[in-house]
Amino acid sequence: MEFLELKNLTKIYQKDILAIDKIDLKIKDGEFLVLLGPSGCGKTTTMRMIAGLEDVTEGEIFIEGKLVNNLQPRERGVSMIFQSYAIWPHMTVFNNIAYALKIKKMSKEKINETVKKVAKMSNIEEYLNRYPSQLSGGQQQRVAVARAMAVDPKLFLMDEPLSNLDAKLRVSMRTDLKEMHKRSGATTIFVTHDQSEAMSLADRIVIMNTGTIEQIGTPNEIYHDSKTMFVADFIGSPSTNFVDVKIISKDNKLFAKNDAFELPIDDKFNDKLHGYIDKDVVFGFRPENLVLSSDEEKLFDIDVVLVEPQGSHSVIVGRLLSKQIKIVSDEVRDMKNIKTLPIKSNGIYFIFDKETEKRIC
């Protein structure tokens, strides 16, 4: 039995605004699942329906096999952490964490034990007597997490909890959240639009787009086995380069051809591409899968627009057939006076149907 299951979940606002369109999702006990997608894709709405903060228009939500559609938020055994830390400014860290436990009529000894336990897990033991105004943003976020952990929920729901932190602190908090999750073993759903956050935290990622699920998979599956152009474009920084080509056949060999290059296609794709001969498709090259080459080995030349130094590597921005192309390279070279560069493929690419935008192979 799955820990959490969504069946045909649908949300319609004001009778005609479809926010969530019949999604199905199963989440395992102890899993760290990330809902990832652009603003307005429905990820927060999905989480709020799970929490009971939004009514379900259609479909069912099961937690540990129990239908919870009609249960109040406090009856669902979930704990939610929001963008804003929502901790009481007039209470010490200790009392912020202990507040919900006192409402539950827990004994003083048990409250002390629980607060110290979650404070240790959240690495805020030394701050228990401080007020929120005396803490940094990262420390306040840890207090919010500790408070959520203290009530021992069945399910953690986190709605972009790191978005108010600066870039460096967000990275360190990712590590902290992952470590806290491992120690607690609690099932967690985390909402974000930040792909690097999703990739570093998730056991599995759910890519959402306009109220539907585009793909579900591990970070590696989402990145290396993208099922649609949307996923291939959304995941990865820089994003995937898309190039229009036509599939042609010469001497029983398939090629991808356009005005800039003619690329022989791996024979293992022949069966899947048989119906696409003499048709236009879209090739997707990840920036790291296009590499600098010699003139003899090149697949095509790009017109260099600029180079973005990133420390350990550079991002070369160029143009091919009037389209922008980005290439990640760790080769050290002076690009100041270079107007064109020879490029080749390392043999890794995606091929998409131009109409459906679904991956062919």
CATH number, domain containing residue 300: 2.40.50.140
67 in any annotated domain: yes
Structural domain ending residue among the three candidates 234, 266, 282: 234
125 with 178, same domain? yes
360 in any annotated domain: no
- Which pLDDT value is given to residue 333? 61
At residue 93, φ and ψ (nearest 5 deg) are -55, -45
Successive 10-residue mean pLDDT values, the chain, 361 residues: 92 92 96 95 96 96 96 91 81 92 89 89 90 89 84 88 80 83 88 93 97 98 97 95 97 95 95 96 97 94 91 92 93 74 95 97 95
Residue 250's CB is within 10 A of a number of other CB atoms, namely 10
Element (H, E) at 63: strand 58-63
230 with 284, same domain? no
350 closest CA partner among 237, 196, 243, 219: 243
359 in any annotated domain: no
Cα separations (Å) of 104 from 93, 151, 246? 18, 9, 66
For residue 279 the two structure tokens come to: 């048709």
229 with 245, same domain? no
What distance, in Å, lies between the first and last C-alpha atoms of the chain? 33
172 with 110, same domain? yes
- Which pLDDT value is given to residue 150? 85
256 with 202, same domain? no
Cα separations (Å) of 176 from 104, 171, 200? 28, 9, 11
CA 158 to CA 145: how far, in whole Å?
9
Cα separations (Å) of 103 from 208, 241, 345? 37, 55, 62
188 in any annotated domain: yes
CA 54 to CA 323: how far, in whole Å?
43
CA 166 to CA 71: how far, in whole Å?
37
For residue 358 the two structure tokens come to: 């679904």
Letter string b/e over residues 7-27, b meaning 16 or more CB atoms within 10 A of that residue's CB = eebbbeeeeeeebbbebebeb
361 in any annotated domain: no
CB 241 within 8 A of CB 285: yes
CB 161 within 8 A of CB 84: no
In this prediction the pTM is: 0.91
50 with 79, same domain? yes
- Which pLDDT value is given to residue 55? 95
Tell me the residue range of the domain where 291 lies: 241-353
155 closest CA partner among 175, 183, 180, 185: 185
Structural domain ending residue among the three candidates 234, 251, 268: 234
349 closest CA partner among 271, 275, 264, 276: 264
172 with 259, same domain? no
**CA torsion 295→301→302→306, rounded to 10°?**
20
Length of the chain (residues): 361
198 in any annotated domain: yes
Structural domain tally of the chain?
Answer: 2
Handedness of CA 141, 143, 148, 149 (dihedral sign): positive
DSSP 279-336: SEEEEEE-GGGEEE--TTT-SEEEEEEEEEE-SS-EEEEEEETTEEEEEEE------T
212 closest CA partner among 13, 27, 41, 7: 41
203 with 348, same domain? no
248 with 145, same domain? no
210 in any annotated domain: yes
114 with 151, same domain? yes
136 with 282, same domain? no
Order of strands, edge to edge, in the sheet holding 17-27?
17-27, 4-13, 58-63, 66-67
245 with 230, same domain? no
217 closest CA partner among 20, 33, 61, 9: 33
CATH number, domain containing residue 17: 3.40.50.300
Structural domain ending residue among the three candidates 212, 234, 256: 234
Handedness of CA 44, 50, 53, 54 (dihedral sign): positive
- Which pLDDT value is given to residue 145? 83
358 in any annotated domain: no
